[in-house]
Structure 1
Amino acid sequence: MDIDLKEQILILETQLMYARKDDFEKILAEEYVEFGSSGMKYDKTMQLSSLVNEAGLLKIPYTISDFTIKQLAPNIIHSTYCTTTMANGKKSLRSSIWQLHETAWKMYFHQGTPTI
């Protein structure tokens, strides 16, 4: 049974939270850009070089809530959600643009904005 598109994008967003280099290489588009909740701007190369634990995290450090997607075109998805850091309860609003590239969804843009 095929999973629906919302579930498929949620799985990909969650997969990136493990900070595994292989996932980043596979899921992030070559043209990827991120405006981080830190205020920094990143591209794919910067993200890949910032990964300190190649094995990835054993546990996702965030919880996700209010996950939604909007299909902007047949092959373009905008996802939005909120993350809460398990360690300190810090919340950030998240927004990603996904494009279907051949048979796989690739993240082209991501933004994290801390909540007040």
Structure 2
Amino acid sequence: MNWILLIIGGLFEVGFASCLGKAKHATGTAVYGWYTGFIICLAISMLLLIKATQTLPIGTAYAVWTGIGAVGTALVGIFVFRESAEFWRLFFMATLIGSIIGLKFVSSH
């Protein structure tokens, strides 16, 4: 169950990073909405990480959480913010995903 919470927490990490990106381009009162989304996603993400580390090793949980956030945010950058999708960027995202899966399989929890 805590692996599921950790994955959801990683997805909320993608959410708070994406809100920052959208806030950068927003104008008027929309900026406050994106910053509110940032704070909400940040709080949920951190709470889920804290909950997951009650049974998972902190090193593994943190590595998986940041890995999901990094890959997810990079994918949002490619699909939403039109960032480059060059071969090496995709290659290293794939290796990061492989590392996340590997950590799950070698974890004792």
TM-score after normalising by structure 1:
0.28
Point out which structure has higher relative CO (alpha carbons under 8 A, 6+ apart): 2
- Quick check: which one's helix share is greater? 2
- Quick check: which one's strand share is greater? 1
Which structure: larger Rg?
Answer: 2
